[in-house]
Chain A
Amino acid sequence: MHQPVPADGIPDHVEPDHIESDLMDLTSVRVADLRHLQTSPAGPRLLAELRRARHNAMGGGTEPGRAE
């Protein structure tokens, strides 16, 4: 059955299926432009994770102290 879709490929009656992050998308930001951002864009979750002592070593084998 033919079903017309809008030019952007997403039917207008269907919510686009995506999962939204709490990180801002800096894909368009070049490294050279990093200091030109108005404020530090790091989100609170990212900073909180960084401030925690390291715990996310992950490993194979069965030795103690790994995250899995």
Chain B
Amino acid sequence: MYAPIRMPGPLFDEIAAGGGSPEAVAFLVRGERTRRLLLLRELLDRLDADPGILGPLGAQPVWPALEAAAARSPRQVDGLLLSPQVGSWLAHTLRRLHGTASGPPLWADAGQLAAVAAAAAVHAGTEARLLLPARGTAVSLPALGMVRLPGPDDEGFHTVRAGIRAGRLTVEGPHGPAVAVRPLDEPESPHWLPVRRLETGPGLRTVQLDDLDPYRDLDEPIAPGRLGPDELRAWQRLFGDAVALLGRSGGSDPGGLRPEDISRIVPWQDKDGPAGLPVPSSGLSASTGDAFASMVIARPPDPLSLAETLVHEFQHSKLGALLHLFVLIEGDDRAELHYAPWRADPRHLPGLLHGAYAFVGVTGFWRARAREADAGTRERAEFLFALRRSQTRMVLRTLATRARLTVAGRRLVTGLSGTVDGWLRDPVDPVTRARAGAAAVSHRVEWRLRNLRCGDGERDRLAEAWRSGTAPPRGGQPLVVPGVSGYWHDDRGALYLAGTPDAGAGPSADASLVAGDAAGARTAYTALLRVPGPPDRHALAGWMLAHAALYPPDRRLLARPERLAALLETVPPARWTEAARWLAGADAGPASSPGSG
């Protein structure tokens, strides 16, 4: 019997603060190794119980091949086990066996075990003869590369014979002669596509740039998508510059990153064309707890964006590894009720925890950039630092008050809160801080208008009180009604970030508001809202923000904008200002000189 994993408190606290020394991250990696061993054993047991799963691959000495390689070269085979390719494949295949995932023929997914054994034998220099799954002409060796066999590439799944000896792999396909390669050092050729690697620095671990492995996406296998030479060079340049940028600050601090801790970048591929996504792909990135330190990224426009994305996704990896070790939230029903300032829709508490952890990293990243001398990025960095620290702190408060945190979960949230509380004391230029604050309020108000509604009873009582001239009734719990207006992009937030409207762009309601012309903005929003049909939630939020700017005591309305929205549905636009003032409980006249509406 083995003892449970015990994480030393100081290492846990480093991760809980949002950063992590090499020792703390190494502890998480050791936990991932244990998890991978457990998953591999589970798969082996399942295959023992039902050998038919392997279909045409049949009963073959896969385990002896893997065992022999692991016995001779334990360190190399450990590295293979810890590769993101093996992590994703293992988890996907076990989900398939449990019926909670889909994919190619089951034997092809499960039979990738033979490819793992073949890769292990290549690393160890041991001898093996195996049947491997192939997709069309492609035979994938995890974290090594892909053999391209001669013949038609029909994308169908079939078996091929492989022999491994002294690091040399020979594969016999159904068409044409056998292909022989040395995967550890074979250069690229029509028959061998090695995994590409990005440099992180002299003597440091390289990062895979994986455009080949079938399990490189988030779950189901996908076809290889070799990058062209121009795209490859663009990635190499971007990554090199991002590494240099990250090297300017401490890799163990919250928001820092040691690039060599990243295992793999998967260039995001537009599998379904531009129409396949509900949002623009720029800025898109994702990761999965199944593949520690791996991330799918749409190539960003500049090194700064890539560096931020690397920090963001590695935060997810660290938290994913921590979640593999410890329960952090108990008894959660995953009800999607909560405000996440970086999202368009309501989120459940585990999602909120992931967001908070990722954005502590992002906040620390921008804090470091704000302290650098590069004036070109300093203003943007200061804005994003101010914005994200306040948003992240708010989410941490939600977690502290609404989630049933375990002892470990409480320690994590306390650690993160301590980091952000320290950052809240950092001085930020008052104008930038005000702009960031306005952006945060703008997002929150629009989010509430798009995702929350007053109950029918509250709406009726509001309307009746307005008509009868009595005091507004107390508010009740809003109803969560996500998705009514679908995905939305925070266009106003982008304007606050830009600071000044695009040159040449005509005046808009948003531009007027961001520029401080609240009266002009309100007039423009009112015009937008006079269009028949359901009110435009973006314009309605803008109207409320403009109103609150004109009547500062009425800012209290922004805490529950859905109440004002419910009231305004029953009031003609000419009386909206009057209605808003009534709901806010104000008895003073206008603070400035607002127009009507």
Contacts and interface: CB of A to CB of B under 8 A. Distances in A.
Interface of A: 16-32, 34-35, 37, 40-43, 45-47, 50-54, 56-64, 66-68
A27 B39 CA distance: 15
7 contacts: A20-B4, A21-B4, A37-B41, A42-B41, A54-B100, A58-B288, A60-B285
Contacts of B347: 68
B94 to A, nearest CB: 5
Contacts of B78: 31
A59 B490 CA distance: 17
Contacts of A42: 38-39, 41-42
Contact of A57 (B218, B309, B411, B489): B218
Interface string B1-32: 11111111110100000000000000000110
B287 A19 contact: no
Tell me the dominant secondary structure on chain A's binding face: loop
Contacts of B350: 67
A54 B344 contact: no
Nearest to A27: B30
Interface in B182-234: 218-219
A68 B350 CA distance: 8
B277 A63 contact: yes
Contacts of B91: 50, 54
B218 A54 contact: yes
Nearest to B486: A64
A56 B340 CA distance: 16
B168 interface: no
Contacts of A16: 8
List 8 A-B pairs, minimum CB-CB distance, nearest first: A17-B9, A68-B355, A59-B286, A31-B70, A32-B70, A58-B316, A21-B5, A24-B2
Given A17-B10, A20-B5, A24-B34, A35 B41 contact: yes
Contacts of A25: 2-6, 34
A34 B71 CA distance: 11
A35 to B, nearest CB: 7
A41 B4 CA distance: 11
B44 A34 contact: yes
A27 B62 CA distance: 23
B35 interface: yes
Contact of B45 (A24, A28, A40, A66): A40
Nearest to A26: B34
B325 A60 contact: no
A57 B70 contact: no
A62 B344 CA distance: 7
B513 to A, nearest CB: 21
